[in-house]
């Protein structure tokens, strides 16, 4: 068996999320079905993170073990041919050590959340960004974001379905950048809780709208109470942008 | 009657192009149907340019005359409400003089052509960019583009269906910029011939692939012969980005 690391881009719109589900299509299922068709063996594909329904991947990292003799380039080409018409593409493929694990070896994960801040509805970006009609103050959002940086108990920003043992995480980056009517929020950490990025973005949007002061983000964090969450941002604007090892 | 200027964004994928057609949906028809529903009158919408099937608009300019008393803001909001579920959005609306004409008053038009230069197929950008698997040399493409700047007879870069009286145009900008695996080609001129941008991009791609020297672009231009065209780029990657008045 040879272990291959994959870098995967996917459009989350038609999927129930990364993880295989009994009730609908998943990115994992699309990849495992393609790998099975190529190798004739059942193949398990493990990812750096399990994204929710409607969340996208620009550079998800994953791995799989393949018995058949095949070069990384041929495996990438064959997967891309078999993945059609699913909006999933393998951008890179390499051989890695047998103990390299996309999830457990991962030292850092990053996300980007895209907001289109305008009155008009989205056209080609529908499902690929969060359209917010109220004018957002990105300076206030950045001030609110500063309260979340560092090591904290993120219970307020954690889904009730989160399976992590501890609510403590260390947030290394949470930046807010406006370019015209687009606002990008970039987050990086060793790992995130379930819904953490969308929950943080939702609170920052409350600040941007002027409904919350920046300090209230810190108060919500300190409360360690999910009921204090302002708003959970929709999955549409969330992109998994990378994992480091 | 009051004349309103509109700034319109649209996803060209489901449309036969800007102009109303008997055989399929058009952006013009979507807008005119929405305006009719709001005003109760037949409304004609005139654009700065008529884009082809599958070509997109980031900031198409257009105008229409409306008899009903309505503010620009209310007209924009009502059009956006009535345009659903078409991927067409009115980004801005203003009152203009009765002799202002989106097409005839236009002093300059600009386009951006988006190439994704990679082996892997497109996912969320399918239909929104041209995926070119061969590695493109953007420096050579820029050198080829330099041959097309200025006032020339663009017969080589003109569709057989072009209705313009003259094949002479003055190309003010044709830039080639790479950011990672994305190449953006930006073009600006007072006006363009039918298929001119896609034809120019096709030849630049031939240069980028190493199949043409940069000088051959100049030779193809000088030949004034459509048969000398290297390649017509697909509509997918083409965005109308603005008009100046």
Of B76, B87, B120, the CB nearest to A123: B87
Q: Which residues 11-30 of B are in CB contact (within 8 Å) with A?
A: 11, 13
Of A9, A83, A124, the CB nearest to B56: A124
- The Cα A127–Cα A53 span in angstroms is 11
Tell me, yes or no, if A52 is annotated catalytic: yes
What pLDDT does residue B161 have?
86
pLDDT tens profile B108-155: 999 999 999 999 999 999 999 999 999 999 999 999 999 999 999 999
Map tokens 């884009």 to a residue.
Answer: B51
Q: Identify the architecture of domain A108-244 in CATH.
A: 2-Layer Sandwich (3.30)
Q: Which 8-state DSSP code applies to residue B192? A: -
Question: Please, what sign has the CA dihedral across residues A15, A17, A19, A23?
Answer: negative
Of A56, A90, A120, the CB nearest to B80: A120
pLDDT tens profile A180-233: 999 999 999 999 999 999 999 999 999 999 999 999 999 999 999 998 888 899
- Beta strand A56-66 with A238-244 is parallel
What pLDDT does residue A161 have?
86
What distance in Å separates residue B171's CA from the closest CA in chain A?
27
User: Does the beta carbon of A76 lie under 8 angstroms from any beta carbon of chain B?
Assistant: yes
Q: Percent of chain A scored above 70 by pLDDT? A: 100
ipTM exceeding cut-off 0.85 for this assembly: yes
What distance in Å separates residue B121's CA from the closest CA in chain A?
6
Determine if residue A111 is labeled as part of a ligand binding site.
yes
What confidence category does residue A163 fall into, taking pLDDT thresholds of 50, 70 and 90?
A: confident
- The Cα A244–Cα A108 span in angstroms is 5
Mean pLDDT, residues A132-148:
98
Domain residue ranges in chain A: 2-96, 108-244
Question: Please, what sign has the CA dihedral across residues B13, B19, B23, B24?
Answer: positive
What pLDDT does residue B162 have?
85
DSSP string, A161-176: T---S--EEEEEEEEE
Contact A124 B128 (CB under 8 A): yes
For chain B, 245 residues long, give each residue's pLDDT as a single digit of tens. Answer: 999 999 999 999 999 999 998 889 999 999 999 999 999 999 999 999 999 999 999 999 999 999 999 999 999 999 999 999 999 999 999 999 999 999 999 999 999 999 999 999 999 999 999 999 999 999 999 999 999 999 999 999 999 888 888 999 999 999 999 999 999 999 999 999 999 999 999 999 999 999 999 999 999 999 999 988 888 999 999 999 999 99
Q: What's the Rg (C-alpha) of chain B?
A: 19
Q: Do domains B2-96 and B108-244 have the same CATH topology?
A: yes
Domain A2-96 classification at class level:
alpha beta
Classify each residue of A23-45 as buried b or exposed e, where b means 16 or more C-beta atoms within 10 Å of its C-beta.
eeebbbbbbbbbbeebbeeebeb
Q: Which 8-state DSSP code applies to residue B212? A: S
Contact A123 B9 (CB under 8 A): yes
């Amino acid at each position: 068996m040879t272990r291959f690391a994959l870098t995967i881009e996917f459009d989350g719109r038609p999927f129930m999320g990364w993880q295989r589900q009994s009730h609908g299509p998943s990115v994992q299922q699309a990849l495992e079905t393609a790998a099975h068709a190529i190798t004739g063996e059942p193949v398990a594909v493990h990812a750096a993170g399990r994204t929710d329904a409607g969340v996208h991947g620009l550079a998800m990292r994953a791995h799989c073990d393949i018995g058949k003799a095949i070069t990384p380039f041929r495996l990438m080409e064959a997967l891309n041919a078999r993945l059609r018409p699913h909006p999933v593409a393998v951008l890179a493929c390499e051989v890695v050590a047998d103990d390299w694990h996309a999830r457990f070896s991962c030292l850092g994960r990053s996300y980007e959340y895209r907001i289109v801040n305008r009155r008009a509805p989205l056209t080609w970006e529908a499902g690929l960004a969060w359209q917010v009609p109220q004018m957002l103050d990105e300076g206030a959002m950045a001030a609110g974001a500063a309260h979340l940086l560092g090591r904290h108990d993120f219970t307020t920003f954690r889904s009730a379905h989160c399976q992590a043992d501890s609510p403590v995480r260390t947030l290394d980056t949470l930046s807010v950048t406006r370019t015209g009517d687009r606002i990008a929020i970039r987050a990086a950490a060793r790992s995130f809780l379930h819904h953490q990025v969308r929950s943080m973005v939702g609170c920052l949007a409350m600040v941007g709208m002027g409904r919350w002061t920046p300090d209230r983000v810190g108060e919500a964090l300190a409360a360690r109470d999910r009921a204090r969450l302002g708003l959970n941002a929709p999955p549409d604007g969330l992109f998994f942008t990378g994992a480091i090892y």
